[in-house]
Structure 1
Amino acid sequence: MTDHPAGGSSCGGSRSAHRSRVGGSVDGRVGGPAYARGVTVQHLDQDSPDVSPDLGVTVDDAVETVIEVAVEDAAAETVEARPPSRPGLSPSRANDFLQCPQLFRFRVIDRLPEPPSSAAARGTLVHAVLEHLFDLPAPERTLAAAHGLLPDQWATLLERSPQIGELFAEPADLAEWLTSAEALLATYFTLEDPTRIEPRERELLVSTDLDEGGPLLRGIIDRVDVAPNGWVRVVDYKTGRSPRAGFESSALFQMRFYAYVIWRTRGVLPKRLQLEYLGDGVILTHEPTEIEMATVEARVRSIWAGIEDAARTGDWRPRTSKLCDWCSFKALCPAFGGTPPEIPAGAVERSIGVVPAA
């Protein structure tokens, strides 16, 4: 793999991911070496294989998957808290269906509530701090300033979701949890220098229609950077650890999904997709192509066809894996002796746009 002058990578078609140590100072330009000295950067090949979410998953993988979905759901709660006006699909919900159709049913059709977790709440809090950090003038975007944003953002989170406060029985528990959030923010500052970055957009809600039918594709992007030459970088923060080499498919699908929506709505294909893992200080990048976007569309159509078929037949068959140990709905799952609730009248048609077979 060789680095282009613009900071991209030429991967030569290998199916494996590459990790490298990047030196030099931080540079906030899109496509530039926007990494602090010694940061581990993994450039993913254009043909990195998709891997089923239940193949070779470890306990750490399972925990990080649960955290990631919960954080994304919290960011989208203002959109998804109300019944959808038309069928829609986000990267998280697509991955839900691939992971377990029964899980997809519980979340999308039954819309069952899920208990909060301290790890997911911490992820939501850190995302909020990083969003508001860029409200400050560039010279003031320091680690101390980020830590200073925590109390107000915690108060906002608690006001929106009071049940999160019940996770901390003692003040010492809350203090320890906030300290762990400070540590994640400290890791962020080893990855980028926010004083040299001016995001074009933050917490951006994107959506587009598929041609010739299909769902409304939607998602929320943490950050969009645009360089003077028009190059676009899509950035997503992850508060967990980076996936093992060869198991990046879920995260990469999410970013390709975002790239596709931006390409369809703005006519510009992002130059770089960048995930920043604060759990272990790793940056994962990918440079999408227009040919790849056709593959993304075909993949999304295939997933949606599977969802429509399950909605029509009522066959939301559970798919068991290590992720089941962290599923909020395990007690209701037929794979573990549970009984799913009766689907509310009209819920399938409202959520999927399909009338179940009689």
Structure 2
Amino acid sequence: MTTTPGAVPGATDGDAAPSAARPASLSPSRAGDFMQCPLLYRFRVIDKLPEKPSAAATRGTLVHAVLERLFDHPAQERTAPRAKALVPGQWQRLLEAKPELAELFPEGDGGAELARWLTEAEALVERWFTLEDPTRLEPVEREFFVETELDSGLRLRGIIDRVDVAPSGEVRIVDYKTGKAPRPQYAEGALFQMKFYALVVWRLKQVVPRRLQLVYLGSGEVLTYDPVVADLERVERKLLALWEAIREATETGDWRPRPTKLCGWCDHQAVCPEFGGTPPPYPLAVVPRQGAQGGEPGAVRPAQS
């Protein structure tokens, strides 16, 4: 019997709660969730448990919006003062889309905390001008949604901050980060997202991007990497192994927590066994495993390089 990736064999739509969803595709962020903690992946993708917005993440969204909108202006007008002037308007647009973001800031301080937060966002925007010159850039795409299906049936998707194409046809993928650049020993993890995007572009356009570029506004650094076909083939194998582990966990309902230092920032401690909580009832049909070998259910199997 052939099954769709992420589907539970033998189950019908009526077997699952209306709010539940079987994984149907993989993005860099969701792949990162599963590698960090399979139970976190379940909470976000299958249970869709709510999470509180954070000031740091919202600031990142704001800065991304400003840098995207700056390219609406002619090249000579892409200046730091113009970019900073976009911050209040883009913040208002975020508030209109998500009024709950106003709860990030106390009401009784006369707007002091919000003003400080907006100033921090402006500083990140201004720092970008020390790293790139937007007057010399004409992005082909901004906030570019990409999606492709591999031969295996795995669907990959994501949003690329910026795509530049040189007159020679060479492609550069750029991603803005509002945090600090990682230490060299952790650079590979940071580049995973970019290699994911490069794989999608390669499969879509049959072109290997010439350069992957991470722009860290928090520390004023730029991390670059020039991929080759062998890199992207390794990433594809890793993603296929990851997806197989996700499918196995989906079918068995066995999603193991993986404690790390990041647990302290998790919104789901109340329902996590590592903190004495109980996960909500699993909303999908479960297929018992028979004669399984090679590791614990839900565990990520090592990818072959």
Q: Distance in 2 between matches of 1:268 and 1:323?
A: 36
Query: Distance between the aligned counterparts of 1:154 and 1:312, measured in 2?
Result: 42
**Among candidates 293, 310, 323, match of residue 232 of structure 2:** 293
- Offset of residue 336 of structure 1: 1.1
Q: Does 1:167 align with 2:100?
A: no
Q: Is the 8 A contact 1:146 1:185 kept in 2?
A: yes
Q: For the Cα contact (< 8 Å) 1:188–1:281, is it kept in 2?
A: yes
Counterparts of 1:276-287 in structure 2, within 5 Å, are: 276-287=215-226
Instruction: Determine which of 289, 309, 321 is the counterpart of 2:248.
Output: 309
Look up the equivalent residue of 2:152 and give its one-letter code: E
2:140 counterpart of 1:210: no
1:139-158 correspondence to structure 2 within 5 Å: 139-158=76-95
SS of 2:183's partner is coil
In the alignment, the residues of structure 2 paired with residue 102 and residue 167 of structure 1 have an alpha-carbon distance, to the nearest angstrom, of 27
From 274, 286, 291, give the equivalent of 1:356: 286
Tell whether the 8 Å contact from 2:21 to 2:47 is kept in structure 1 after alignment.
no
Q: Distance in 1 between matches of 2:216 and 2:76?
A: 24
Extract unaligned runs of 5+ from structure 1: 1-81, 347-354
Could you tell me which of 214, 224, 228 is aligned with 2:167?
A: 228
Change (3 A) 1:243 1:86: closer
Q: Is the 8 A contact 1:95 1:250 kept in 2?
A: no
Q: How many residues align?
A: 267
Q: CA deviation at 1:283?
A: 0.3
**How many angstroms does 1:134 deviate by?**
0.4
Please give the root-mean-square deviation of Cα atoms over the aligned residues, in Å: 1.5
Secondary structure of 1:305's partner?
Answer: helix
Q: Counterpart amino acid of 1:264?
A: R
User: Residue in 2 aligned with 1:94?
Assistant: 31
Note if contact 1:129-1:150 (Cα within 8 Å) is conserved in structure 2.
yes
Q: Contact between 1:198 and 1:225, CA under 8 Å: does it hold in 2? A: yes
Counterpart in 1 of 2:293?
none
Aligned-residue offset at 1:85: 9.2
Q: Does residue 1:114 correspond to 2:44, yes or no?
A: no
Tell me which structure has the larger Cα radius of gyration: 2
* Per-residue deviation, residues 258-294 of structure 1 (Å, max 9, x unmatched): 0000000011110000000000001000000011111
Once the 2 structures are TM-superposed, how far is the Cα of residue 331 of structure 1 from its aligned partner?
A: 1.6
Tell me if the contact between 2:62 and 2:87 (Cα under 8 Å) persists in the aligned partners. yes
Matched, 1:185 2:125: yes
Are 2:21 and 2:46, in contact at CA under 8 Å, matched by a contact in 1?
no
Q: Which runs of 5+ in 2 are unaligned?
A: 1-18, 289-305
Instruction: State the TM-score, normalized to the length of structure 1.
Output: 0.73
Q: CA deviation at 1:356?
A: 2.4
